[in-house]
A and B are shown apart, each in its own frame.
Chain A
């Protein structure tokens, strides 16, 4: 059972545009929602994360929007650049236990010049 559903599977955005990736979760015990960026052949890098006590978090060009009632969260990349082309994974975890991450299936983003 996939507990974190991510969409779209792939995304092409023109340079300067807004990239939007969506995730939905099922487990109401999740209370930490990070986004990771992964380039080919590299490990994932933590991009930005949010806790459910806020509805939005912004760091530079990256913004997480969080809707607790809908159990959805999304990543917005403003002014997308070719260097943003990578695979993005949303994840969720519960602060209890070992905080194991449940990952979405990933979104391959291509920002065209």
Chain B
């Protein structure tokens, strides 16, 4: 299957700081990437859809000024959690569309805000 990587795999930061998470499609180009959030023992919650070269589309209830998404190239999308607070602690997962229907997921990034 296609390979999607995320960096870092885990991060601990102080409250009020910003954290950037990178998502890369390693062996294919992805015009569309997605960012999800997952709480323990729960399903994936779509945060936003990221399209290369254009603004991200955020799901209802997701603060676009807090979760900044940049899709600068066909293989890289970044999620920046600005002014992070303990309630932002979660497992963040990206995915990328290799074709019109198939989404491949990254390994996830665990964020802990102290």
B107 located at the interface, meaning its Cβ lies under 8 Å from any Cβ of chain A in the complex:
yes
The answer to whether A46 and B1 touch (CB under 8 A), given A36-B105, A99-B100, A103-B43, is yes
Interface residue total, chain B, C-beta cutoff 8 A:
26
Q: Once the chains bind, are B101 and A44 in contact (CB under 8 Å)?
A: no
Q: Once the chains bind, are B93 and A101 in contact (CB under 8 Å)?
A: no
Q: Among the listed A49, A89, A95, which residue makes an inter-chain contact with B44, where contact means beta carbons less than 8 Å apart? A: A89
Q: Once the chains bind, are B106 and A43 in contact (CB under 8 Å)?
A: yes
- A41: chain B residues within 8 A (beta carbon): 108, 110
- B108: chain A residues within 8 A (beta carbon): 41-43
Q: Once the chains bind, are B110 and A99 in contact (CB under 8 Å)?
A: no
- B57: chain A residues within 8 A (beta carbon): 98
Whose C-beta in chain B lies nearest to the C-beta of A36?
A: B105
Most buried by A among B43, B108, B110: B43
A104 to B44 CA separation, bound complex (whole angstroms) = 9
- B105: chain A residues within 8 A (beta carbon): 36, 43-46
B102 located at the interface, meaning its Cβ lies under 8 Å from any Cβ of chain A in the complex:
yes
- A36: chain B residues within 8 A (beta carbon): 105
A42 to B44 CA separation, bound complex (whole angstroms) = 12
Give B89 Cβ to nearest chain A Cβ, in Å: 15
Supplied contacts A43-B105, A46-B104, 10 more A-B pairs, CB within 8 Å: A32-B101, A44-B44, A46-B102, A46-B103, A89-B43, A98-B49, A98-B57, A99-B101, A101-B34, A101-B103
**Shortest 8 CB-CB distances between A and B: which pairs?**
A43-B105, A43-B108, A43-B107, A32-B101, A44-B105, A103-B43, A105-B43, A98-B49
Chosen A-B contacts, 15 in total, with CB atoms closer than 8 Å, are A43-B4, A43-B6, A45-B1, A89-B43, A89-B44, A95-B101, A98-B32, A99-B32, A99-B97, A99-B100, A100-B49, A101-B103, A103-B44, A105-B43, A108-B41
Interface residues of A (CB under 8 A from B): 32, 34, 36, 41-46, 49, 89, 93, 95, 98-101, 103-106, 108
